[in-house]
Structure 1
Amino acid sequence: MRSRCRACRWCTRPSSSPCCRACWWTPPAAPPRPPRSEMAERLLLIEDDHSIARFVEMALEELPGLQLTNVRSLAEARAALAQGGWRLVISDLMLPDGSTETLLREGLALQAGAPPWVVFSAGLNAQRHELLSGLGVRRILHKPVALSALLDSVTQLLSAAAPSATAVQAEAVADPVQQHFGGDRALFEAFLSGCIERFSDDIAQGDAACARGDAAELRRAAHGLKAVLQLIGQPALSALARELEDGAAAGGLDAAGWERLVQGLLALGVQRR
């Protein structure tokens, strides 16, 4: 009766025969393992404006090995941060349900092992810079920020080579493709196309706010448009949005000013619903 060799479970020669390692038959090799890929760097983006979030997402596609997660409210940000495992946090300050400065004042950027924090916002003065730096912010990016400045900041912070909080200003270049998109016209056109579609939602939000007399809601609509319009090379419309935001912050509601802004958006090809 034939039995398997005691040295292995592959050979069917008699047990008295030499081990299969010395015979003509060789057990099949195990399939090769796929190369082990490096774990992606997890980045948390706290930004409620879809256009700005898309700009960051498209910009970071230039850097391999990154996994970006976007949350759009203070509550979502708190829950995401509680999970841990983030290598970098990029955060706007103004969100629909509060300010992320609340999280910073709780010391989340100063805790041991906390990821580097970047504040991604507009209209910050020197006092605010100093305050945010003291709360642990490592870098301040002013909206709108150039593509190259954003990529440089992320690269430096991930490599732990960044200095303390530094303001990155956009260069005064007329062409938005050069100023904000590193000369990549295809990237600019793709971003612009998405903005034109989403501006319809912004118009609807502002129209509803004016109809209700809701200055706070109008402020949120103008705030979102302000930075995006600057990114796509519409500084005059961006300035008008800033005026509306400032006026609404003081409790005013300039319906005529909003209508002027809407007409400027319609001239770009936006559809009013």
Structure 2
Amino acid sequence: MSSLADLEARVIAAEKLAQRKAQSTDNVQAHDRGAIENVFSKYMHLHNHFLDEDIKPLWVKRGTPGIHAQYTNNGVYTEYDSVMAYHSGRPAPPGKLILHETSTPVIEVAEDGETAQGYWLMSGVESGLTTAEQVSGVTDEGGAGMPDSLYEDPSHNVDGRRVWAHWVWCQYALDFLKQDGQWKIWHFRCLETARAPYGENWITFAGRNEFMFNKDLAYFGKDGRPVFMPTPDKKAESIAHVYGPNRSQTLAVQLPSPYKTFSDVKEY
């Protein structure tokens, strides 16, 4: 009788082992998906707190073939140093607040476990203070500063400084590469969708300030001075479809879908 019970127990144990082995690929993918989500979430938390030096280790190591980043429609950075330049020296003056919140992830890990693609939505705020001389009042692409309409009404000045406070919405599309057993950012796309000052809606703002999205603004620095992106390494082959009152929205990049190896997909 005990022999029969022992046999039944062994059969049950064998069935459980077979089930675990059958699910092992899914378990690995779930683990990798969580690790990738953590990498990008860590990136955003560090970005919000201007801890750029801590962002750099999240990227693939120097010398990795194919590294690139595209933050605007004006071009792509294809060298390790030019990509890292964006994460170097970004100031955090008093009164400046960046709070980007990501959501709605779509993450696919390649069957070979070597690469992954991820896509997120972002909504957030960007704000700070600027001295009066930094408000240029430009109304076209020729000005060196930013238009007066990017700032709040002067009646809201704080200690004599103009206030800039924006709602901002973006999409992020990233490729990840596993290096030394760790997931690293390999390709990076930021696709800005819409922006509006706190005191204005995004429709009227876009209708009056379409040129602003082509000025390649990196951030507002000390005293609210606009700082523009360095010259990109090459022209953009794909652009973000920034909202405009006379344009229909389209998906600028494909969403991640299951794939076997990276040669099967279009890189971000």
Judging by fraction of residues, say which structure has more helix.
1
Judging by fraction of residues, say which structure has more strand.
2
Larger relative contact order (CA 8 Å, sep ≥ 6): 2
Question: What TM-score comes out, normalization by structure 1 length?
Answer: 0.29
